[in-house]
Chain A
């Protein structure tokens, strides 16, 4: 049952299109994984909701014809999840030691989920305690960035601040003065390799894609917001890039579509009049969709009539959703 390197490759092959992998890339991945050590991930949670970790657990669906694969396979054989407080067995000083040992060995990917509170001396987010007392998320990042091979910010809070840094009221907004984890890393170490995988939550395939790129030793092309162009390409960089509205099966310009929605509960109607942010949002959700299983993807935001709220964009959540 403990699935091997081969099954990860089979997953990548079966979902090559979804992951954007060319056959040559797959061959290179196979070669890399036959020699390279599994990458070690040191995954910290800051100010956020841990929704990206839960989304990550949805990784590696039972994709036909691969057969049952789960994130367990990845954890066992393909990445060393050295520190992740939701999943790790160790607690207290044993857990802290694990983070330190990983740091001392170096060569890990530092995964950051959640924004960094700078108010109250950073004390709005304590990640652990050591001999000297509580250690803030900010202090832990400062400690762990120098020896990291690369930094991966997962989810919109880590990438751009997101919900925890939001609020329309100038006095009440961003109550703990959150900055993005990425901006802190850039301050600390301008030359460090940093990639943003935004989303609220990030799609598990996007996270898998980023890990695969790391295994391959690739340096994917990033936009000005440090997002991989391959996943979040926009018109600033490429006039042919398509936003969610343009890719949307409900786009009213497509033949056979019924037109514009006037209220919730109208299947197949375009939700733009209700506030859908598809026209300003660049992600592959209409093509990739969400929550894969044997039956394919379960759904995606627009096809639940619940609208795209632009959760991958740097200004998320921004102003009113229903306008």
Chain B
């Protein structure tokens, strides 16, 4: 019998997500035959930036996301650097990297332990761990208890990573030190010492606890190394510039088609946004910069406030697995557990890179070179957030922000069907997943969580006009 159900809220993500699934028995197996991902919050960040001083953009856009504010601050100052023709000194580049990298480490540890692990272990017999579904629990109580201890340890470790963001950034969340032309703070020796000691603790935790825990879980739940694949296309903008010319990066940009080993060069002009299944007035697919957003609700065939970005008309997954794949660091496969594995391995790769970057700091070197602000410019700032490729685009007129556009990682991953009817990466990843208990589809939650969705980031791009009338969201 066909069952259609909405699971709203999807918890242990950032932001507001509703997942609507249809479950049916096909070839004797009860499985997901249709999935729709529905975002439930829009704020219109691009609108409230209009008219502001361009230099306000990092402060304002960090508030898009309390979990990955640093990547937004970085994307914003990269766009401003380009607009102003700023020359960022080496120390400024390195401090940006260290501060963003600290936020990656924090976000990845938070994601595995706090957001994902409760799908697999038995938590303490109290809120917020109860009431849980507790379906398909394969760990012994001793194993579950051990991972729960690591969960509590992870609370401390992620807090230490936030300290690292704050050591140079000022505080976390929402560090104020990201400025066009470099970084506001200097690498004072006492701060480098604190940062390095925290980094060593985190490396030990990643090596001794995080990676072994992921490998252990992946072995017990080895069927999840097959489920949750998605479209198989992996896209990265690249991040963490390793030289002042910004030609070499820790993570390269590129696109891998259908799990291919070969990586194609990324051309950001090949991005198009589709709106046929989004609550916006229909228009042909256009580049993000040309996209006009006129809400239309209700609208036949539409079901979400997210648009559908496509690269050369294809849906693409972004995130740690895409970065590690494109960079040639991880090639095992694409699945629920591969996302966890690639994320954990990326955490270690980044942490070790940070050791080198700390050594690259020059104590007396400049962190900042005052840029010449401009009256008019159009520019882009591309980087990576913990959850994947992040782009900010800015247009400056008469010295003020005239337009601002953000495409966040989750907009790619949780996008709806495109104009050709092809589902977004998460929707596609859910199709065909066997479901044991249709009332408690834990399999769906496990796959959703492997993408680490951040709807806070994804749904701010909606720009409804003042005159728009929206009758209901159903």
Contacts and interface: CB of A to CB of B under 8 A. Distances in A.
A70 to B, nearest CB: 4
B15 A50 contact: yes
Interface stretch (B239-247, B251-259, B316-324, B462-470): B462-470
Interface residues of B, number: 102
B56 A320 contact: yes
A300 B175 CA distance: 9
A304 B42 contact: no
A5 B53 CA distance: 49
Interface string B44-61: 100111111101100110
Contact of B155 (A45, A72, A97, A295): A72
Interface residues of A, number: 96
B156 A62 contact: yes
B169 A265 contact: no
A119 to B, nearest CB: 8
B312 interface: no
Interface stretch (A9-17, A128-136, A142-150, A187-195): A128-136
Contact of B60 (A70, A163, A293): A163
Contacts of B7: 91-93
A49 B50 CA distance: 20
A200 interface: yes
Contacts of B128: 75, 81-84, 87-89
A72 B44 CA distance: 34
B368 A70 contact: no
Interface string A120-156: 1101111111000110000000000000000000000
A293 B160 CA distance: 7
B10 A91 contact: yes
A128 B183 CA distance: 40
Given A62-B156, A68-B156, A76-B126, A293 B18 contact: no
B126 A80 contact: yes
B64 interface: yes
A50 B163 contact: no
Nearest to B124: A76
Contacts of A55: 66, 173
Contacts of B170: 290, 299-304, 306
Nearest to A178: B43
Contacts of B55: 321-322
Interface in B214-269: none
A97 B158 CA distance: 30
A201 B66 contact: yes
Given A47-B43, A123-B473, A295 B194 contact: yes
A107 interface: no
Interface stretch (B184-192, B380-388, B412-420): B184-192
B172 interface: yes
B174 A264 contact: no
Contacts of A45: 16
A127 B40 CA distance: 7
A265 B131 contact: no
B114 A87 contact: yes
B64 A49 contact: yes
B124 A175 contact: no
A281 to B, nearest CB: 13
Given A55-B173, A71-B155, A90 B51 contact: no
Nearest to A45: B16
Given A123-B470, A134-B8, A265-B367, A49 B456 contact: yes
Interface of A: 1-2, 40, 45, 47-55, 57-58, 61-62, 68, 70-72, 75-76, 80-98, 117, 119-121, 123-129, 133-134, 162-164, 166-169, 171-176, 200-201, 263-265, 267, 290-293, 295, 298-307, 309, 311, 317, 320-323
Interface of B: 5-16, 18, 40-44, 47-53, 55-56, 59-60, 63-67, 69, 110, 114-115, 118, 123-124, 126-133, 149, 151-152, 155-156, 158-160, 162-179, 181-186, 188, 191, 194, 197-198, 366-368, 370, 440, 445, 456, 463-464, 466, 468, 470-474
**Which 9 pairs across A and B sit closest by C-beta, in order of nearness?**
A51-B66, A175-B44, A304-B170, A306-B176, A126-B40, A167-B48, A92-B7, A265-B368, A89-B132
